[in-house]
């Protein structure tokens, strides 16, 4: 907290930082809504995941989109309350360190950083694939070599953008996000109208109510794998509920923005999924399990050749614009870990001109490129393998966050029914669901890897090797780091929330050492 | 006594601007406010605070140097860390203090490079209602 004291000293000397270090221009309802939608990148998420989910669960894909929101919703409650205790610092690393301890916090932070590394490759690949599609460069699109070359180029460009800290103006962002959702909803509406009017091509299916019931999925183990993929599409959604402190009207605007952005997201996901399954039929969707090209192939049939580029453009802008909302948190976590002595100090450097954590960003970009180049050329189904590995890791650190919330607030849980439900029960149940998905999915892939991808390493399905392997690597690195000193971090005591902060009477930060309470 | 606002980040260009600003401050017998915009890029919450603390430490290190230099020249000076990006920080601070000038250094970049990297002098020329003095870096 030394830095705070210094800031105060400078504030006396005449600087004008806002109260509690919040940014001067507060975030209004529309911005809250935009951030809530942008942080999940709906068009990119759908392009990446939809075919995989349909191959797994068939016509119940819309049900999986709905059901996988449940654990996300419960975990978001944990994010909300942890953010209240430690505002503007919303990551799993700091929270888990405070609540569960430095070793668990380290592994949680590691998971955040590595998911960043994995997702950058996938973002870039989707952007490259659809750019070739839009420009009609089928030759390049279907060449593994050129796709690798261009994707690495895009990773480089995205890393550069993040190092420079370039931001689109708020206006451009708003237009892009709203256009993205608009294009998807237009696509869904036209597709469903065509299906209803009998204008859809052969193979189309009329939607039924049972599509929306997760209980209609053939087997529980298939549902587990579908839900795990669903975790990916809502990844980042918690940002929407984390804006409370910065919003103009803290009591209603952010809450309303979070609710509205959630409804918009759910409607977009469910409507688009239903539309794709109904319009194209299962067989056609299944052809795209291996690449993100589903929308590019169906859009011309749905919207005609005049408007299909809208959907393709939405996916490209979605993949590119979510760079900053995904790389930055990852590199900030690395920065935070470095500054607290959990990572090499080098990663905590800030560029003097661009003010970005340039070292950790470049390391993330370089590792992403290496990761992509290897996996894309080794794996028969890059998208499936990397997204499944990603979902496993997200489930892991979200579950850890949910538990951290309950532990951090454990002395407050019995003070009111609301506390018990939203701080105790909700996050714990959410963490339980995610932990179950994590374990069960690993088990499924271990037993039945052949039937899903037929792609394995050391006799184990690739996603499990990647997802679990990276977590085990994290534990090994953590133990190594701990064994080589770094007492300032690993010697930290666990904390519990300050009762006044928990009750909302006082703003965080604020924790008290465990034994003091 | 008026006020001169200096944009200072510790770079070579900024050092040239500091010297010019000291000259102007002595000329007009003005007070020098050494300004550093400390808002890190990226508006979404995660670890924002930690990032900003890192930026503030950087800013304190850089501006302390300028403050010392100004005082050694006998110029009345203070430091202002403003939680905004560089250009709006300077514009707002200058407006608030009713400053005579904003003084900034240029990195000596061409218009394209400047546009790509984000040129503070370019932004000031469009945003500022206070006269802007742009000082080229000496080699």
Measuring CA to CA, which residue among A17, A50, A339, A319 is closest to residue A188?
A50
Predicted confidence at residue B28, as pLDDT, reads: 93
Cα–Cα–Cα angle for A470, A471, A475, nearest 5°?
115
* Cis bond upstream, residue A509 (ω within 30): yes
Measuring CA to CA, which residue among A488, A476, A485 is closest to residue A341?
A488
Residue B27's pLDDT band (boundaries 50, 70, 90)? very high
Across A162-187, average pLDDT: 83
- How far apart, in Å, are the Cα atoms of A301 and each of A190, A229, A380, A460? 10, 27, 28, 39
Residue A62: partners with Cβ closer than 8 Å, 6 or more residues away? A211, A212, A270, A273, A274, A277
pTM equals 0.84
Across A164-193, average pLDDT: 84
Residue A432: partners with Cβ closer than 8 Å, 6 or more residues away? A399
Residue A448's pLDDT band (boundaries 50, 70, 90)? low
A351 within 8 A of A163, measured Cβ to Cβ: yes
At A30-80, the pLDDT tens digits run 777 787 787 788 888 888 888 888 888 888 889 999 999 999 888 888 888
A357 chain-B contacts, CB cut-off 8 A: 51, 54
The pair of structure tokens assigned to A22 is 């919040």
Residue labelled with tokens 């080589």: A484
At A403-431, the pLDDT tens digits run 999 999 888 888 888 888 888 899 999 99
| A328 with B33: Cβ contact below 8 A | no
| B80 with A13: Cβ contact below 8 A | yes
Q: Chain B residue with minimal CA distance to A16?
A: B82
A508 within 8 A of A245, measured Cβ to Cβ: no
Report yes or no: B95 at the A interface, CB cutoff 8 Å: no
At A494-516, the pLDDT tens digits run 887 777 777 766 665 545 555 44
φ/ψ of A393, rounded to 5, equals -70, -35
Report yes or no: A88 at the B interface, CB cutoff 8 Å: yes
Residue B101's pLDDT band (boundaries 50, 70, 90)? very high
Q: Check residues A477 and B1 and name the one with the higher pLDDT.
A: A477
Nearest to A356 among B33, B40, B53 (CB): B40
Q: Is A205 exposed, middle or buried (0-12, 13-18, 19+ CB in 10 A)?
A: middle
Predicted confidence at residue A456, as pLDDT, reads: 60
Across A480-494, average pLDDT: 83
Across A8-34, average pLDDT: 48
C-alpha R_g of chain B: 14
Core vs surface per residue A378-397: b (16+ CB within 10 A) or e: ebebbbbbbbbbbbbbbbbb
Instruction: Compute the count of residue pairs across chains A and B with CB atoms less than 8 Å apart.
Output: 143
Predicted confidence at residue A20, as pLDDT, reads: 35
Nearest to B58 among A18, A89, A350 (CB): A350
Q: Is the pLDDT of residue B2 over 70?
A: yes
Measuring CA to CA, which residue among A57, A427, A390 is closest to residue A224?
A57
Give the Cα separation of A413 and A350 in Å (integer).
39
Q: Is the pLDDT of residue A19 over 70?
A: no
Among A134-148, A456-470, B82-96, the minimum mean pLDDT is found in A456-470
- 3-class SS at B134? strand
A442 within 8 A of A224, measured Cβ to Cβ: no
Q: Can you tell me the ipTM of this complex?
A: 0.86
B92 within 8 A of B82, measured Cβ to Cβ: yes
Residue A164's pLDDT band (boundaries 50, 70, 90)? confident
Report yes or no: A90 at the B interface, CB cutoff 8 Å: yes
Give the Cα separation of B102 and B109 in Å (integer).
19
Q: Among the ranges A22-36, A191-205, A453-467, B77-91, which has the highest mean pLDDT value?
A: B77-91
At A115-162, the pLDDT tens digits run 888 888 888 988 998 898 888 887 777 788 888 999 999 999 989 988
Predicted confidence at residue A459, as pLDDT, reads: 60
Tally: H helices and E strands in chain B:
5, 5
Give the Cα separation of A214 and A62 in Å (integer).
9
At B61-86, the pLDDT tens digits run 999 999 999 999 999 999 999 888 88
- State the average pLDDT for chain A: 80
Predicted confidence at residue A52, as pLDDT, reads: 86
Q: Check residues A35 and A337 and name the one with the higher pLDDT.
A: A337
Give the Cα separation of A89 and B89 in Å (integer).
23
Q: Chain B residue with minimal CA distance to A34?
A: B44
Torsion of CA B102, B108, B110, B115, to 10 degrees: -50
């Amino acid at each position: 907290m030394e830095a705070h004291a210094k800031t105060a000293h400078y504030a006396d000397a005449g600087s004008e930082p806002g109260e509690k270090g919040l940014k001067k221009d507060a975030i209004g309802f529309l911005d809250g809504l935009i951030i809530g939608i942008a942080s999940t990148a709906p068009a990119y998420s759908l392009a990446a995941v939809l075919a995989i989910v349909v191959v797994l669960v068939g016509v119940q894909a819309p049900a999986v989109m709905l059901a996988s929101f449940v654990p996300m919703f419960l975990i978001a409650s944990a994010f909300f309350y942890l953010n209240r205790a430690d505002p503007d610092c919303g990551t799993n690393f700091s929270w888990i360190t405070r609540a569960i301890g430095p070793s668990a916090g380290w592994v949680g932070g590691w998971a955040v950083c590595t998911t960043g590394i994995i997702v950058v490759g996938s973002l870039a690949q989707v952007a490259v694939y659809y750019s070739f599609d839009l420009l009609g460069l089928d030759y390049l699109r279907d060449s593994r070599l050129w796709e690798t070359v261009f994707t690495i180029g895009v990773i480089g460009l995205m890393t550069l953008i993040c190092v420079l800290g370039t931001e689109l103006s708020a206006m451009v962002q708003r237009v892009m996000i709203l256009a993205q959702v608009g294009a998807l909803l237009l696509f869904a509406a036209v597709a469903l109208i065509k299906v209803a009017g009998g204008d859809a091509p052969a193979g189309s299916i009329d939607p039924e109510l049972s599509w929306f019931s997760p209980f209609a999925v053939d087997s529980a183990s298939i549902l587990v794998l579908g839900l795990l993929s669903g975790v990916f599409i809502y990844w980042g959604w918690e940002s929407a509920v984390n804006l409370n402190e910065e919003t103009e009207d803290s009591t209603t605007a952010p809450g309303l923005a979070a609710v509205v952005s959630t409804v918009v997201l759910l409607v977009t996901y469910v409507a688009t999924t239903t539309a794709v399954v109904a319009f194209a039929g299962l067989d056609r969707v299944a052809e795209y399990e291996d690449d993100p090209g589903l929308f590019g192939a169906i859009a011309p049939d749905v919207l005609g050749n005049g408007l299909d580029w809208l959907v393709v453009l939405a996916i490209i802008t979605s993949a590119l614009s979510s760079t900053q909302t995904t790389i930055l948190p990852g590199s900030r976590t690395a920065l935070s870990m470095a500054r607290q002595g959990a990572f090499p100090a080098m990663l905590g450097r800030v560029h003097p001109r661009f003010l970005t954590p340039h070292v950790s960003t470049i390391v993330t970009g370089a590792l992403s490129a290496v990761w992509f180049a290897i996996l894309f050329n080794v794996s028969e189904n890059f998208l499936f393998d990397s997204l499944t590995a990603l979902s496993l890791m997200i489930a892991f650190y979200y579950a850890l966050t949910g538990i951290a919330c309950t532990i951090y607030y454990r002395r407050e849980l019995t003070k009111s029914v609301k506390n018990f439900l939203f701080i105790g029960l909700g996050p714990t149940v959410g963490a339980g669901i995610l932990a179950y998905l994590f374990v069960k999915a690993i088990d499924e892939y271990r037993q039945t890897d052949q039937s899903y991808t037929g792609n394995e390493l050391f006799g184990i399905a690739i996603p499990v090797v990647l997802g679990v392997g990276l977590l085990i690597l994290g534990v090994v690195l953590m133990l190594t780091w701990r064994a080589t000193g770094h007492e300032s971090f690993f010697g930290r005591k666990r904390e519990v929330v300050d009762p006044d902060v928990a009750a909302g009477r006082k703003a965080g930060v604020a924790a008290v050492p465990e034994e003091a309470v | 006594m008026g006020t001169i606002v200096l944009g200072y980040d510790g770079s070579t260009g900024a050092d040239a601007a500091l010297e010019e600003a000291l000259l102007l401050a002595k000329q007009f017998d003005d007070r020098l406010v050494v300004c550093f915009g400390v808002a890190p890029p990226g508006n979404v919450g995660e670890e924002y605070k930690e990032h900003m603390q890192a930026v503030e430490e950087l800013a304190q290190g850089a501006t302390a140097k300028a403050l010392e230099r100004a005082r050694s020249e006998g110029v009345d000076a203070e430091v202002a860390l403003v939680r905004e990006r560089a250009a709006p920080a300077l514009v707002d601070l200058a407006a608030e203090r009713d400053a005579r000038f904003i003084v900034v250094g240029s990195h000596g970049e061409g218009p394209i490079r400047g546009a790509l990297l984000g040129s503070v002098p370019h932004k000031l020329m469009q945003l500022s209602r206070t006269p802007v003095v742009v000082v080229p870096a000496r080699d």
